Copies of this chain bind each other. A is one copy, B any other.
């Protein structure tokens, strides 16, 4: 929800400023691999990474936090990353996109965290000929399985290039949306019962929360879909031909996520309708009771009022059976009305409505 932008308007482009409250990472995590070997180290400064620049194999440099601007500037200069891209990497709340800076691609993704609430974290990826940078906002990510595959050499990850590693990272990030959507599915199913059984405004609040979360996911995935599509269409030399089917698969997954999101949005819209209809049904039930009670007793009270008048000459009052007669008459009126109401279906309560 927060759309803060750290840069003061009018600053020169490419000015690197850490986002407010950014996490300051102590070390840079470097994974270097070839088809045969993998090396994983943590180094404290950008200079320690320099020697990987021209080394055979692929180097994955990961930074968990955007607080150390100097380190990021140094890394950028070492590997020739474009200042505008670095600025965007430091500007959290970017939309997902792919920018082609000729000697490297710059990719922005949004990683989903969901526990109590749903948060998205910006992941900026730089794809060069033999290196991959990933900048994250906080420590902790969903990329551990990718690192494990590198370490264990499962699959073809180590035998492929940097572009395949980027695919694997993107795939891991997108795959992580599915468990969230499953949970949304369960919540929607529960809410479907709740809006009918107990339509309180707390239920409504939860429907609104779900809709907002889905909106957040949609905003994170929709531009990503277009970006991957542009990547497939523009044929950058940094993405080799054998990697394209995998990117297309990635594209299919984003389409799938959007598809589910749209379905849940339609269901949430239906929940809103059901809620309003349920509230209105309950209100109608209340009104019906008032109508039935009032419609029966108001005329009877009038009759009682008649015989409560103090006229001198009211012959009925003197009759021996006047009182029982009026009681029987009142009873008959009430029964007649109840029968009429029953026929009109006004006595049927909540069971049916």
Contacts and interface: CB of A to CB of B under 8 A. Distances in A.
Interface string A232-263: 00000000000001101100100110011001
A221 to B, nearest CB: 13
A36 interface: no
B322 A259 contact: no
Contacts of A344: 285, 350
Interface in A8-53: 8-15
Chain A interface size band reads 35 or more
Interface stretch (A58-66, A115-123, A168-176): A168-176
Contacts of A3: 178, 181-182, 185, 260, 263
Contacts of A157: 12
A196 interface: yes
Contact of A259 (B95, B156, B300): B95
A119 to B, nearest CB: 16
A320 B313 contact: yes
A239 to B, nearest CB: 15
A144 B10 CA distance: 8
Contacts of A101: 245
Interface in A160-184: 167-168, 171-172, 175-176, 178-179, 181-182
B272 A273 contact: yes
A70 interface: no
A280 interface: yes
Nearest to A204: B277
A103 interface: no
A160 to B, nearest CB: 11
A331 to B, nearest CB: 11
Given A10-B143, A84-B245, 5 more contacts: A3-B182, A290-B291, A308-B309, A310-B310, A310-B314
Interface of A: 1-5, 7-15, 82, 84, 88, 94-95, 97, 99, 101, 142-146, 148-149, 154-157, 167-168, 171-172, 175-176, 178-179, 181-182, 185, 189, 196, 200-202, 204, 208, 211-212, 215, 219, 245-246, 248-249, 252, 255-256, 259-260, 263, 266-267, 270, 272-274, 276-281, 283-291, 293-295, 297-302, 304-314, 316-323, 326-327, 344, 346, 350, 352-353
